[in-house]
Amino acid sequence: MNEFPVMNESLNRIYEQSLSMISANALAAGVKLCVFDNLREPVTVESLAKKQGLNPGATQVLLDTLTSCGHLHKKDGMYRNMPDTDSFLVSSSPTYYGEILLREYQRNSISPDVIIERVKSGPVPQSHTNDMCNEGFWERYARSMANWERAGTAQMLASEISGLPEFQSFKTMLDLGGGPGLMSIAILKNHPTMTGVVFDQPSVIPVTRQFIAEYGMDNRMSTQGGNYLEESFGSGYDLILCSCTLNFAKYCMDTMVERIYDALNPGGIFVSLHDGMNEEGTYPRVHVLNMMTSALSGFSCSLEKGFIADAMKNAGFSSVTSKQVIMDVGPFELDIARKDT
């Protein structure tokens, strides 16, 4: 006669993860439909469906799902955005994240069958890795990343750097791979006179210049286009910042950091913000999940904790300090290296 098993574990974690694709799909659908643009004030499902030409019954299913996921609030049959939804999913917001969300959704969409094939046969380049060779991709990427940077990341990094004892003595900085330039703009706004150079792909530079003008920094900032892995990015800097960009130098990191060392003035400081994988490549979870599809496509660029710090020491920096900073997209490593005077 069979007996029921004695259970010491719960199915809850596995069951909830099996539903995670539904919440991701609903969120992406809501962004594509721009429903959040019309939910800044309480609205009935009938009113929203009529305004956007949607089916009322199916629209209610979507809105109820988005409510259960925490994106909307529902009371007395009226739906409206939650505060963070207003900030990040309304397309007119300066911190709109929807474009990045949809791009990352497409990049990370991979079926179990494709994962199985990659695990059996090895990585195969996918279209999103080919797109990275297209200059138009980097222009679009930089423009969308600006909203994420000014949603708190640039302010956090500027606060960290402006708190350095040497900060007020800086005269010039380089934002290497700086994209739209919001990081260096935020830093320079904390300093009365320092000037800055943003170096990135040639196709990105027009975007950078637009943001420099938008923030009124034309007289203190300039740009330079090129591939920093192969081309000179100048010298004579008191501060060099690399924010989430040195992953592309993973396989030539010692050489790259040596070039950064040489480009600094005596007493200069090199700051790197980047992912820092640890626990044998299984943490932080957000970075593991975000990189899986790319890794299975042959583009594995995640960096281990201490990898850049070690390259800083190898290059001859006299002092290297590291700390973890918690950002809205997970924990990152902040490495700060000082060159002898």
Q: Which helix (H) or strand (E) holds 223?
A: strand 221-225
Q: Are residues 143 and 272 both part of a single domain? A: yes
More confident residue, 137 or 111: 111
> How many domains are there within the chain?
2
Give the predicted TM-score (pTM) of the model: 0.92
Among 97, 113, 147, the domain-final residue is: 97
At residue 124, the pLDDT reads: 87
Beta strands 78-81 and 43-44 are: antiparallel
Q: Are residues 135 and 252 both part of a single domain? A: yes
Kindly tell me if the per-residue pLDDT of 157 is higher than 60. Answer: yes
In 3D, which of 188, 179, 198, 197 has the Cα closest to residue 244?
Answer: 179
104 domain-assigned: no
Q: Are residues 260 and 150 both part of a single domain? A: yes
Q: Which domain holds residue 50?
A: 12-97
The predicted model gives 135-140 an average pLDDT of 80
CA torsion angle for 79, 152, 222, 167 (degrees, to 10)? 160
102 domain-assigned: no
Q: Are residues 82 and 147 both part of a single domain? A: no
- Contact between 73 and 82 (Cβ < 8 Å): yes
16 domain-assigned: yes
For 76-198, where are the alpha helices, taking DSSP H only? 83-89, 98-108, 112-121, 127-131, 135-148, 154-162, 182-189
Q: Are residues 150 and 297 both part of a single domain? A: yes
CA distance 108 to 92: 25
pLDDT 10s digits, 61-104: 999 999 999 999 999 999 999 999 999 999 999 999 999 999 99
State whether residue 75 is helix, strand or coil: strand
At residue 239, the pLDDT reads: 98
Q: Are residues 160 and 288 both part of a single domain? A: yes
- Contact between 183 and 149 (Cβ < 8 Å): yes
Q: Are residues 43 and 178 both part of a single domain? A: no
Among 97, 113, 141, the domain-final residue is: 97
Q: Are residues 131 and 82 both part of a single domain? A: no
Across all residues in the chain, what is the average pLDDT? 95
